[in-house]
Structure 1
Amino acid sequence: MSSFDDIVKIALKEHEDSARSDTATFLRDIKAQLEDPASIPCYSKTSPPLSLVSFNCLLQDTGYPLEVYLPGDMEATDIVDWAKLKERWIGWGVEIPGEQDWVKEGDLTSSLDGLSLNLRELPASVYDDNAYRPASTHKFLGVLSTSPMPSNEPENADIVPTIHVLAEVDQPPIAGPSKEDGDVREELVEYLATAFDPPDRLAAEYVLLLLLSSPTSRPSSLSPLGTLAINLMRESGATTSALHPVIASVSPRVIPLALTLPLLHTHRFSPASADSSSLEAGLLQLGEGTVLIVDEDGMGSGGQLNEKAIGNLRALSDCLTEQRVKYDYPYMDGLKMDCAVRVLVLSQGKTLLPVDVNLPVRENGAKTTTRPSLEPFRSYLARHSASTHAALLVIPEETGQLIQDDFVTRRKNGSSEPEETLKRRMKIARLLALSYPHATLTKEVWERAVRLDEEVAKRHTLP
Structure 2
Amino acid sequence: MVSSQRVDALNNPARALLDLFTEKTPLDLDTFPTAVANHFSEIFASDDAFQEIPALDIDHPPSKYDDNALVRFRAMIQDTSPSPELYLAKYNSGQCGGWGLSKDAQTDDSSSAEVDDVDSVIEYADLRECAVVWAVSIPGESAWCRDGNSISDSTENKGQNSASTSQSHKFPIPDAKHVGVRLKIYDGNLAQSLKSTDTHSFVGILSSESLNTDRYSDTDTDKEVPTLHVLFSRPLTSTIVPRKFPYTLPKDSQTTSVLDLRNELITWIADEGLAGDRDAAEWVLLCVLSRVQSRTPPILPPSLNISRFPPPSTLSKDSTSPAPEPILPTLLSYILPTVTSVPLSLNTINTTDFYPQSKDEDLHAGWLQLASGSTMCLWEGGLSEGGVNEKGIMNLRAIQEIMNGQAVDYVFPFSKFSFPTDIVCITISEGRKSTFFQTSINVPLKPSSKEAEIVQRLYQAPDRLKVPHADKLEMFRGLIGGAKIGKVTINDNVAEHIQEDFVKERQTGGGDQAVTSEDLVHRIMTARLLALSYQSEEVTIDIWERTKALEASRKARF
TM range (shorter): 0.7 to 0.9
Taking a change above 3 Å as real, the CA distance of residues 39 and 83 of structure 1, as seen in their structure-2 partners, is: same
Residue 287 of structure 2 aligns to which amino acid in structure 1?
A: L
Contact kept? 1:33, 1:39, Cα under 8 Å: no
Which of 168, 178, 181 is residue 233 of structure 2 equivalent to?
Answer: 168
Residues 170 and 12 (structure 1 numbering): CA distance in 2 closer, same or farther, change over 3 Å?
Answer: closer
Residue type of the alignment partner of 1:375: E
What is the aligned partner in structure 2 of residue 54 from structure 1?
A: 72
For residue 400 of structure 1, report the CA deviation from its aligned partner: 2.1
**1:326 — aligned with what?**
409
Residues 154 and 229 of structure 1: is their aligned pair in 2 closer, same or farther, counting only changes over 3 Å?
farther
- Structure 1 residues 291 and 41: CA distance shift in structure 2, 3 A: same
Matches within 5 A, 1:419-434: 419-434=517-532
- Structure 1 position 314, deviation (Å): 0.5
Q: More displaced, 61-70 or 179-188?
A: 179-188
- SS at 2:426 equivalent: strand
Quote the Cα distance in structure 1 between the aligned partners of 2:245 and 2:372.
20
Query: Match of 1:130, SS?
Result: helix
Equivalent residue for 2:343?
A: 258
User: Is this contact kept in 1: 2:309–2:429, CA < 8 A?
Assistant: no
Partner of 2:355: 270
Distance 2:310 2:226 in 1: 51
Match of 2:476 in 1: 377
SS at 1:64's partner residue? coil
Match of 1:395 in 2: 490
Contact (CA 8 Å) 2:402, 2:408: kept in 1 or not? Answer: yes
CA offset at residue 144 of structure 1?
0.5
Give the alignment of 1:139-154 within 5 angstroms: 139-149=201-211, 151=213
SS of 2:535 mapped into structure 1: coil
Structure-1 separation of matches of 2:279 and 2:519? 18
* Superposed CA offset, 1:14-39 (max 9, x none): xxxxxx9x9669999x9798472111
CA distance in 1, matches of 2:50, 2:22: 16
Deviations 1:158-177 (A, max 9, x none): 21111111111245853332
The yes-or-no answer on 1:199 pairing with 2:276 is yes
Contact between 2:86 and 2:127, CA under 8 Å: does it hold in 1?
Answer: yes
Distance 1:151 1:422, change over 3 A: farther
Superposed displacement of residue 290, structure 1: 1.1
Q: 2:143 aligns to what SS in structure 1?
A: coil
Contact 1:197 1:240 in 2 (8 A): no
The one-letter code matched in structure 1 to 2:506 is R
Matches within 5 A, 1:99-118: 99-105=141-147, 106=149, 111-118=177-184
Q: Which residue of 1 aligns with 2:514?
A: 416
Q: Which runs of 5+ in 1 are unaligned?
A: 14-19
Q: What is the match of residue 281 of structure 1?
A: 365
Deviation string, structure 1 residues 232-288 (Cα, Å, up to 9, x no partner): 11345899833122111111111110001111111111101135x331111100011
Candidates 33, 52, 71, aligned match of 1:39: 52
Q: What corresponds to 1:16 in structure 2?
A: none
- CA distance in structure 2 between the aligned counterparts of 1:132 and 1:114, rounded to whole angstroms: 17
TM-score by length of 1: 0.84
Q: Which deviations, in whole Å up to 9, do the C-alpha atoms of 1:127-172 show, x marking residues without a partner?
A: 9x81111111111111111222255676343211111111112458
Supply the distance in 2 between the matched residues of 1:83 and 1:312 (Cα, whole angstroms).
Answer: 49
* In 2, Cα distance between equivalents of 1:340 and 1:241: 24
Q: How many residues align?
A: 431
Q: Is the 8 A contact 2:247 2:478 kept in 1?
A: no
SS of aligned partner of 1:86: strand
- Residue of structure 1 in register with 2:100 after alignment: none
Aligned match of 1:92 in 130, 134, 140? Answer: 134
CA contact (8 A) 1:195 1:241 kept: no
CA shift for structure 1 position 315: 0.2
Q: Does 1:119 align with 2:181?
A: no
Give matches, 1:214-233, under 5 Å.
214-219=291-296, 224-233=298-307
Name the CA distance, whole Å, in 2 between partners of 1:289 and 1:274.
28
1:189 and 2:266 equivalent?
Answer: yes
1:87/1:121 contact within 8 Å kept: no
Partner of 1:69: 87
Q: CA deviation at 1:108?
A: 6.0
Specify the code of the residue in structure 1 equivalent to 2:429.
Answer: S
Shift in Å at residue 416 of structure 1?
2.4
Cα distance in 1 for partners of 2:348, 2:303 equals: 22
Tell whether the 8 Å contact from 1:260 to 1:299 is kept in structure 2 after alignment.
Answer: yes
Structure 2's unaligned 5+ residue stretches are 24-38, 98-110, 153-161, 163-176, 249-256, 313-323, 451-456, 458-464
RMSD (Å), alpha carbons: 3.3
Tell me the distance in 1 between the aligned counterparts of 2:407 and 2:532: 23
For residues 58-113 of structure 1, the C-alpha deviation after alignment (integer angstroms, 9 at most, x for no partner) is 11001122211111536331222222100011110011111111111225665334
Match of 1:17 in 2: none
In structure 2, relative to structure 1, the CA distance for the partners of 1:112 and 1:341 (3 Å cut) is same
Partner of 2:544: 446
- Aligned equivalents of 2:468 and 2:544: distance in 1? 32
Q: Aligned pair in 2 of structure 1 residues 24, 236: CA closer, same or farther (>3 Å)?
A: closer
Q: Distance in 1 between matches of 2:22 and 2:308?
A: 59
Q: Provide the C-alpha distance between the structure 1 equivalents of 2:178 and 2:22, rounded to a whole number of angstroms.
A: 27
Alignment pair present for 1:134 and 2:196 = yes
Candidates 397, 402, 406, aligned match of 2:501: 406
Aligned AA for 1:384?
A
| 3-state SS in 2 of match to 1:94 | strand
Paired AA for residue 306 in structure 1: N
Indicate the SS of the match to 2:89.
coil
What's the counterpart of residue 317 of structure 2?
none
Q: Aligned residue for 1:177?
A: 246
Matched with 2:124 is 82
The question of whether the paired residues in 2 share the 8 Å contact of 1:196 and 1:240 is answered with no
Q: Is the 8 A contact 2:243 2:478 kept in 1?
A: no
Q: Matches of 2:216 and 2:326 in 1, distance apart?
A: 48
Report the residue type matching 1:402 in the other structure.
H
Q: Distance in 1 between matches of 2:544 and 2:396?
A: 34
Give 1:343's aligned residue: 425
What CA distance in whole angstroms lies between the structure 1 residues aligned with 2:181 and 2:466?
43
Identify if the C-alpha distance between structure 1 residues 25 and 178 changes in structure 2 by more than 3 Å, giving closer, same or farther. Answer: closer
Q: Give distance in 2, aligned partners of 1:60 and 1:240.
A: 28
Query: Aligned pair 1:208/2:285, yes or no?
Result: yes
2:382 maps to: 298
With the length of structure 2 as denominator, give the TM-score of the two structures: 0.70
Identity %: 30
Q: Do the aligned partners of residues 25 and 323 (structure 1) sit closer, same or farther apart at CA in structure 2, a change above 3 Å counting?
A: closer
Distance in 2, Cα, partners of 1:406 & 1:212: 27
Q: Distance in 2 between the 1:158 and 1:401 partners? A: 66
